[in-house]
C-alpha cells in the first residue's frame, strides 16, 4: 500500500506562528512569576532568564510544529523535510559572506532614502537590537549571545525556511518555475518579517528573509541559511557591544 503524501495547507505556518506567540507569552509569564519580576514588562527591562523563557515558548512550536507537519502531511522524517544536512566547506563561507553582506550592505542601502529624509532613523532602526543587547549587561551577555547566534537562527530557520518555504514550494508545484520560486521566497520572507512586529525594521527583515530563503531554495538545505542568519545576528551583536 502506497502512503499518500501532501504538503501542509497554507494556513498551517501562520497558525503555528500564532500558537508560538501565545506560548511565548505563557512562558514569559511563568518566568516573571518564578523570578518575582515586578514593574512593567518591556524588551529593555527583561532579564537574561526572561529572554530565554520568552524564546523557549517560540522555539517549542517552531520545531514542534515543523515536526508535526512532517509526520502528518509529508509523511517524511523531520530532518528530511527541512533539509537538515550541512556541507561545511560550502555552507560556512557562503553563509558568512551572505550574513555580513546582508547586515552591512543590503540593509543599510535599503534605508539610505529614509535616513536622507530623517537622520534619526538609524538610531530607531537599532533600538530593538540595542534593547536585547542591553539585557546582557551585568554578566548575561553570553546568554544573549546564545539566543541570538545559536538558538534563534536554528529554530527560526527550521520554521521559516524549513517548514514555511516547503509549504509554499509544494503547494505551488504547478506554477511556472520562476514564479513559484519568487512567490515562495517572498511569502516565507513576509511571514518572517511580520513575526518580528517591528514596523520600522520590516523592510530590512523582509530583505534578509528573502536572502535566507533564496539560499535555502538554491541549496536545498538549511546549512547555509543557518550560518547566514547566525552571522547576521553576530555582526549586529558585535557592532552594538563594541561600537568603536
Task: Please provide the average confidence, as pLDDT, over all residues in the chain.
Answer: 92
Q: Where are the domains of the chain?
A: 12-241
Q: Whole-angstrom Cα distance, residue 203 to residue 199?
A: 8
- Condensed to tens digits (0 to 9), the pLDDT of residues 14-38 reads 999 999 999 999 999 999 999 988 8
pTM: 0.94
Q: Which pLDDT tens digits describe the chain residue by residue (244 residues)?
A: 334 578 999 999 999 999 999 999 999 999 999 998 888 888 878 899 999 999 999 999 999 999 999 999 999 999 999 999 899 999 999 999 999 999 999 999 999 998 888 888 877 888 888 888 888 776 788 999 999 999 999 999 999 999 999 999 999 999 999 999 999 999 999 999 999 999 999 999 999 999 999 999 999 999 999 999 999 999 999 988 876 5
Q: Whole-angstrom Cα distance, residue 193 to residue 196?
A: 6
What is the model's pLDDT at position 139?
74
What is the model's pLDDT at position 2?
39
- Condensed to tens digits (0 to 9), the pLDDT of residues 201-239 reads 999 999 999 999 999 999 999 999 999 999 999 999 998
Cβ atoms of 60 and 72 closer than 8 Å: no
Amino acid at each position: 500500500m502506497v502512503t499518500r503524501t501532501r504538503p501542509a495547507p497554507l494556513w498551517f505556518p501562520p497558525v503555528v506562528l500564532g500558537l508560538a506567540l501565545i506560548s511565548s507569552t505563557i512562558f514569559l509569564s511563568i518566568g516573571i512569576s518564578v523570578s518575582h519580576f515586578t514593574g512593567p514588562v518591556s524588551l529593555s527591562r527583561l532579564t537574561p532568564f526572561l529572554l530565554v523563557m520568552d524564546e523557549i515558548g517560540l522555539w517549542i512550536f517552531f520545531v514542534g510544529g515543523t515536526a508535526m507537519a512532517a509526520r502528518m502531511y509529508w509523511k517524511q522524517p523531520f530532518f528530511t523535510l527541512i533539509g537538515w544536512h550541512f556541507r561545511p566547506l560550502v555552507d560556512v563561507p557562503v553563509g558568512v559572506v551572505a550574513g555580513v553582506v546582508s547586515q552591512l550592505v543590503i540593509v543599510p542601502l535599503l534605508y539610505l532614502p529614509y535616513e536622507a529624509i530623517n537622520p534619526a532613523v538609524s538610531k530607531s532602526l537599532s533600538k530593538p537590537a540595542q534593547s536585547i543587547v542591553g539585557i546582557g549587561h551585568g554578566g548575561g551577555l553570553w546568554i544573549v549571545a546564545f539566543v541570538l547566534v545559536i538558538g534563534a537562527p536554528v529554530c527560526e530557520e527550521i520554521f521559516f525556511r524549513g517548514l514555511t518555504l516547503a509549504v509554499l514550494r509544494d503547494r505551488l508545484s504547478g506554477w511556472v518555475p520562476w514564479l513559484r520560486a519568487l512567490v515562495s521566497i517572498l511569502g516565507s520572507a513576509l511571514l518572517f518579517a511580520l513575526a518580528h512586529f517591528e514596523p520600522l525594521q520590516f523592510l530590512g527583515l523582509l530583505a534578509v528573509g528573502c536572502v535566507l530563503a533564496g539560499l535555502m531554495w538554491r541549496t536545498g538545505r538549511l546549512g547555509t541559511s543557518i550560518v547566514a542568519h547566525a552571522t547576521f545576528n553576530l555582526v549586529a551583536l558585535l557592532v552594538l557591544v563594541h561600537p568603536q
